[in-house]
Each structure stands twice: as C-alpha cells, then as structure tokens.
Structure 1
Amino acid sequence: MNVMSSALVTGGSGYFGSLLVKKLLEKGISCSILDIIDAPDRPSNVQLFQCDIRDAEAVKAACKNVDVVYHSVAQVPLAKNKELFNSVNIQGTENILAAALANGVQKVVYTSSSSIFGIPKKNPVTETDIPKPLEAYGKAKLEGEHLCKRYIEQGLDISIVRPRTMLGHGRLGIFQILFEWIRQGYNVPVLGKGGNLYQFVHSDDLAEACILAANRPGSELYNCGTDRFGTMRELLEALCQHAKTGSLVKGVPARPTIWAMKATTALGISPLGMYHAMLYGGEMYFDISKANTELGWQPQYSNSEMLIQSYEWYLANRATVLTSSGGSPHRSAVKQGVLNAVKWIL
C-alpha cells in the first residue's frame, strides 16, 4: 500500500469532509481544505483554500504539492437546484480531476452516491450493476463517475467510493426533523408496513474506507454500507424505544403518501428531495464484499447504533444547531415546511 503524507479535501468544511479531515490528522497526514466557507471548527493546522470549485485556476492552485485529493464537495438533494447540481457536481468535478492530473497528484478518491442506482430492481447492489439514476442529483453524481473514468484513461489513479446514506455524530439535514419529532414524542411514519430493508453507513466508517482506498494503488469502485441492518420499521422502532418519549412508528398508505411527497416536493413546500420521496419506502442495500476483501475494510457501526448516536448528538447540541445559520445542509437544521402539519395527524 502507498502511504500518503499530504491531502486536499474538497468540501472539507461540510459534514463528511470535516470528519474526514479529523481522521486524516489523527493518522498524521497533513491536510488542506477547498471550500467556499470556513467552518468555525477548522483545525488551526489545516490550510483553507476558500474558493468556488467551479473556479478552475483556484482549484489548480489548491491541488499543488498534495499526494491525494479526496473529492467530497457536492450539491446535495436538499438544494433542489438542477443547474447547481450540474455546475458543482459535474464541472466542479472536472476541474478537480484536471487539476490533479496537471499537478501529478498520486491519487484521487471520488465520493459518489448510491443515488446513481435510483430504485434498484434487485438487491444487494454490486459494483458491476448498471446505474440508473432517476433524479437530478443521482444523474449529476453518475456523470461525475463518467468523468473519473475519462481521466483514468489519461493516467490519473482514481478510486470511486459509493456510500449508502450517511449517519453519525453531527449528521442533521432531514434527520433533524426525525430527531425533533421523536424528542417531542410525535409519531413517525413508515410506508405500508415498513418492511423494506434499508442500509446506512456511519461517516467514520466511510472515512476509513476512503483512506484505505487512497492507500491502495489502482483505480477501483467500492460500495460501502454497514453489514448490520434490517427494515425501516425496525430501525425507527429501535430509536423510539431508546428515546422513551412516547413516539411510535405508524404505517401510512404507501401509494398516496408517495404521490403526496412528490407533489409537495415539486411545489417547494416540503424539505424533502425527490430522491427521498422515491426511496423512503424502497429497498436498497449494497454488497460490500469487495471493500472487505480488497481494502480490508470492516464497518464498525450497525444501522441502529449510528442512528441512536446521531440522535444523542442532536439532543446534546440542539441549542447550538437551532440558532446557527448557513453552512453545510448536512450539518444544519432544516425548515419542516408542510411536514410540520403532518406530525399532528399521525
């Protein structure tokens, strides 16, 4: 395995990027960050390149004198802006890859997304399955993978890591709504009986997979998720039982609920993205045997462990979360919109 001594993390002020930086520093790897914002918790020994990833010259300057680039910056589904998806997730990715190639970077690790598979026809999903994204975010992330393959052909060493939905300490976004409902004792919905198998990945586990991929020469694809997961109902019931606030998991009719979720998302009155509406009642989980075998990667957290940890972090930091503004969507509270009314009828 290669040993990388210096790294650039794009999106290093965001939820996952900041955790990745922390883990790299713990391993003795010097880090710099490329981001449009400067997070208040950025370590003093981490240089910030405060620029837009769509600025090709600024990106090229940031990629100088680093061994590995971890490309984790992205516009997420909560942004609901297709043009922003394309310019940041596609053009921004090409800028990073071109800069890495020009600067002789030894390795690029591209954090992709399980949304590139849409709603899979079979599970578990493997690295050889053909992606079929169904919405703008998934399509943009897949285009990023296609760009990676083009630059691999030009000699750039790139590993693509595809995570399932991330959880862990500090993970908020739409999960903040779930946590707030349970904190207040409101019931939470599942579609139908909630028997769909659904897999998450802890952000710490994902960071470890990315670092292992960076240290392994050769361009590869790796699917990453926990190896201990069950149904959506089981997961939410475990959290309700842990919280002891009186919240229960309630089944709601699947088809009309999905229709309503899509409609309110399209109207802009729901905080959910179209991907959330399509997959909440769907089933999806990765085969992670390739990452196990080739990287020696083993996830440390189960679905329920990571969700409970995320909930407890929210309770401990709620006052700060609710008064802060700006920053990464995954590190922030979100407005409930029409969901604020839904909780009263469950």
Structure 2
Amino acid sequence: MGWASCFRAFTTKRRKSSIPSYSSISRITCTHKSPFPDNAMPTRKLASKNVLITGATGFIGGHLVRANLKKKKHVRAFVLPGDPGEAALKKLGVDIAYGDISDYESVKKALKGIDTVFHCAAVVTDWAPWSLFEKVTIRGTENICRAAAQAKVRRFVDMSTNDVFGVDESAVMDETFPLRPWKEPYPDAKIEAEKISWRYHREHGLPVTMVYPCWVYGEGDLTFVPSLADAIVKRDLIFWRKDVLVWPTYIENLVDLLLLISEDPRAVGNGYLVHDGESVTLQEFCAGIADTLGVKPITTHIPYFLAYAAGIAMEGLWKLMKKKTRPLLTTYTVINLGSRFRFTIGKAEKELGWKPRVSYKEGFTRTMQWLKALDLESLTLK
C-alpha cells in the first residue's frame, strides 16, 4: 500500500498540504489471538449477505464492490458527501450511506443491518498533516470498530499494509513479526489503527481479520501505475539502489483473499500477508512499463545515501519555509523505493488454502493492456 503513495509523491506534481508534525510511537508487539476457544472455533463457512465497504470509491474498494455484487451480495458503500466516485457506484446499483468516517454517528447509522465490514478507508500518502492521519486513519478506525462491535457484525476485514512490519531486510517477514513504527506518518498511523482493531477484537469480540497487501496494482488504478508510466515517458524517474525488491499484488488476487476470509471462520483473529507469490526488481517493473509504451527504460542511479540525505534536506527546507506543497523527495519515498524487503504468503496458503489465482506475469500483462488505452496526462495527479 505504501508503495503507491511514495511513487505518487516522487513522480507527480504535488498536492497542497501542510507539513506533518506527529508524535513518536513506541515499538509494539501485536498478538493475533482469536476470541474463540480452540474447541469452540466454528468450522462452517458463513456467507455474508449485507456488506459495508469503507473507502469504496478507491481502487481496492471499487474492485471489492464489484466482486461482492457479482456474488449477489447487498453492498452498501460508505461515502463522503461530494465524493467524485459516487456516480460510478450509483450506476452499479450500490446502496450509498453518506457520512464522514471521523463522525461516529454517521458510521453507526451506516452499520444498520450489516453483517460484514470491509474497512478500506485511510489516508494514503506520505506527506499530509498528522492531524489528517489521526482524523481519518486512526479515529476513523476507532469509529468503525466501535459501531461494528455494537452491531455485532459476523466479519470485520481490516485493510492494513505490509509497511507495518517495519524496514527489516535481514529476514523474510511474516505475520509473526512485531509491528515496527517508522517515524513516518503513513505506516505509523496504520499501526495505531491496527492496534485499535485488535483491541476491539480482544475486549469486545469483534471478529477481526487483518490483511497486509504488498504492492497493489491492476486495472482501475488511476494514480500509481499511470503516474509511474508518465514519469518514465517524461524521463523524470531515477533509481537510488540496484536490485530493489517489490512484491506485486494483483488486484484480483487481493480481492479473492478478501472474499475468502470474509466467509472462512478460520480467518477470525488472524492476519494475512498477500502478494502474487513472487518478487521482481523495481527496475524490471519499470522496464516492463517502458516496453509497453515504446520508450527506453530508465537506468539512471544515484547512491542511496545521497537520496536519503536529499530527502532529509528537502523535508527540513520545506518545514523551515513553511511551504504547503509536497517536497520533491521524502525520506519515506527513499526508504520504500530503495529497500530489499522480503515477505511470505505461506500463512494464507497453509491455513486457508488460498493461492494467487493470477500469476504476476499474467497480472502485469493485463495491466499493461489496460494502460495502453489511458490518457496518462489526464490521470497524473495535479
């Protein structure tokens, strides 16, 4: 999840925002323990009928809406009034519940009659005021958890990110790794939100399942891949470390897992990493986009330490000058686009029998076919 935000930060014109000022978060460890005793764990799959999706106008949320409709579910989308994505949802016949995720009463109202919640709403950027992360990602999660617990929903599927496991390159990371703050707003806010979800799981029996997507891509992504493609065409992209690993997560593979865990009782009280089952280098991914667009691949590199120093300097300068635009480079961007993290999806495969239905090769091919038809200039963030 974090990869998309840092690419948008580096390769596109910047949105106006204030400089974040967030407090440090102590290192924590989260124990994913189900509220059901081992001998009382339900074994029968329970098909959901009435689904609420927060963040339904986003890339992942939109795919999740269509997938649930295809399974004949009644889908309710929690939408901020005036959201430009509202019209598309109405065309699909989705039940719209208007409200602000930071307003408990509107969230509570949206939960009436709901048995399954997919919580996808969050601030996804590396440069925004910490107050916005607190309002949407953290307080929003508190509100949806509280309302869902009171409504006694049967499933609560929470969208986290692989970022919450920190920046450890020494081992293959899995769901047993502790949550490790970065001292960066996006991942740290997601960690705080996750702590809230697990607290409601432990103290109120909320049937939480946490999902940790890696680098999500696919048809319908109108920010990440198009912005990256635009930067490649304009030669605005450079690399600062060779052989950087990325773990692509094709959108259909992610949605398959989300639907599975929304009905499988074995998923309650657990968290699952998800990707396509293989890694590629960042340069390989970008080269594939360049080949699709008929341009030369980007090969320019600068040393990692120089990029990180530049990120520190730019952030400091932007704060000193009290500029509201996004810096050209941030430390979060440098870390995310310059690391060799490794993740395993063994838990979902072993416990739930899930496997990526679409290979990375096929997912990338589909995405590139879709990309060719886009007007990149109109999609790049302004």
TM-score range, shorter chain: 0.7 to 0.9
Letter in 1 for 2:49: S
Secondary structure of 2:172's counterpart equals coil
The 4+ residue runs of structure 1 with deviation greater than 6 A are: none
Q: Tell me if the contact between 1:71 and 1:109 (Cα under 8 Å) persists in the aligned partners.
A: yes
| 2:13 is the alignment partner of 1:13 | no
Return the alpha-carbon distance in structure 2 between the equivalents of residues 35 and 169 of structure 1. 22
Q: CA deviation at 1:73?
A: 0.3
Residue of structure 2 equivalent to 1:342: none
Deviation larger for 77-86 or 201-210: 77-86
Cα displacement string for residues 2-45 of structure 1 (whole angstroms, at most 9, x for unaligned residues): 11111000011111111110111111111000021251311442
Q: Tell me if the contact between 1:239 and 1:308 (Cα under 8 Å) persists in the aligned partners.
A: no
Give the 3 Å change call, closer, same or farther, for CA 61–262 of structure 1 in structure 2. same
2:195 is aligned, of 130, 146, 157, to 146
2:294 is aligned, of 229, 234, 244, to 244
Larger RCO (CA within 8 A; separation ≥ 6): 2
Give the 3 Å change call, closer, same or farther, for CA 277–70 of structure 1 in structure 2. same
Return the alpha-carbon distance in structure 2 between the equivalents of residues 228 and 179 of structure 1. 22
Give the 3 Å change call, closer, same or farther, for CA 85–159 of structure 1 in structure 2. same
Q: Tell me if the contact between 2:116 and 2:156 (Cα under 8 Å) persists in the aligned partners.
A: yes
Letter in 1 for 2:196: L
Letter in 2 for 1:245: V
1:97 is aligned, of 126, 145, 158, to 145
Letter in 2 for 1:97: C
CA-atom RMSD in angstroms: 2.2
| 2:342 is the alignment partner of 1:292 | no
Secondary structure of 1:298's counterpart equals coil
Residue of structure 2 equivalent to 1:166: 216
Secondary structure of 2:157's counterpart equals strand
| 2:144 is the alignment partner of 1:64 | no
| Residue segments in structure 2 that go unaligned for 5+ positions in a row | 1-44, 319-324
| Residue segments in structure 1 that go unaligned for 5+ positions in a row | 323-331, 336-346
Letter in 1 for 2:302: V
1:210 is aligned, of 244, 258, 263, to 258
Return the alpha-carbon distance in structure 2 between the equivalents of residues 177 and 250 of structure 1. 18
Return the alpha-carbon distance in structure 2 between the equivalents of residues 57 and 280 of structure 1. 40
Give the 3 Å change call, closer, same or farther, for CA 265–236 of structure 1 in structure 2. farther
Cα displacement string for residues 193-233 of structure 1 (whole angstroms, at most 9, x for unaligned residues): x2122212112211111111111122211111121222222
Cα displacement string for residues 223-268 of structure 1 (whole angstroms, at most 9, x for unaligned residues): 1112122222222223323332223332222211232234435624
Q: Tell me if the contact between 1:236 and 1:249 (Cα under 8 Å) persists in the aligned partners.
A: no
Matched-pair identity in %: 27
Give the 3 Å change call, closer, same or farther, for CA 306–195 of structure 1 in structure 2. same
Residue of structure 1 equivalent to 2:46: 2
Deviation larger for 43-52 or 125-134: 43-52
Give the 3 Å change call, closer, same or farther, for CA 77–263 of structure 1 in structure 2. farther
Q: Tell me if the contact between 2:126 and 2:333 (Cα under 8 Å) persists in the aligned partners.
A: no
2:161 is aligned, of 113, 116, 132, to 113
Return the alpha-carbon distance in structure 2 between the equivalents of residues 92 and 127 of structure 1. 24
| 2:377 is the alignment partner of 1:334 | no
2:238 is aligned, of 181, 189, 214, to 189
Q: Tell me if the contact between 1:35 and 1:49 (Cα under 8 Å) persists in the aligned partners.
A: yes
Letter in 2 for 1:293: K
Cα displacement string for residues 279-308 of structure 1 (whole angstroms, at most 9, x for unaligned residues): 211012321011112222222345555455
Residue of structure 1 equivalent to 2:12: none
Q: CA deviation at 1:187?
A: 7.0
Deviation larger for 225-234 or 124-133: 225-234
Deviation larger for 285-294 or 172-181: 172-181
Written as runs of structure 1 = structure 2, the 5 A alignment for 1:212-231 is 212-217=260-265, 218-231=268-281
Residue of structure 1 equivalent to 2:285: 235
Return the alpha-carbon distance in structure 1 between the equivalents of residues 302 and 148 of structure 2. 49
Return the alpha-carbon distance in structure 1 between the equivalents of residues 247 and 211 of structure 2. 16
Letter in 1 for 2:380: A
- Give the TM-score, by structure 1 length: 0.86
Written as runs of structure 1 = structure 2, the 5 A alignment for 1:267-306 is 267=318, 268-270=325-327, 274-303=331-360, 305-306=362-363
Q: Tell me if the contact between 2:157 and 2:211 (Cα under 8 Å) persists in the aligned partners.
A: yes
Residue of structure 1 equivalent to 2:37: none
Return the alpha-carbon distance in structure 1 between the equivalents of residues 236 and 284 of structure 2. 14
Return the alpha-carbon distance in structure 1 between the equivalents of residues 306 and 366 of structure 2. 32
Letter in 2 for 1:179: A
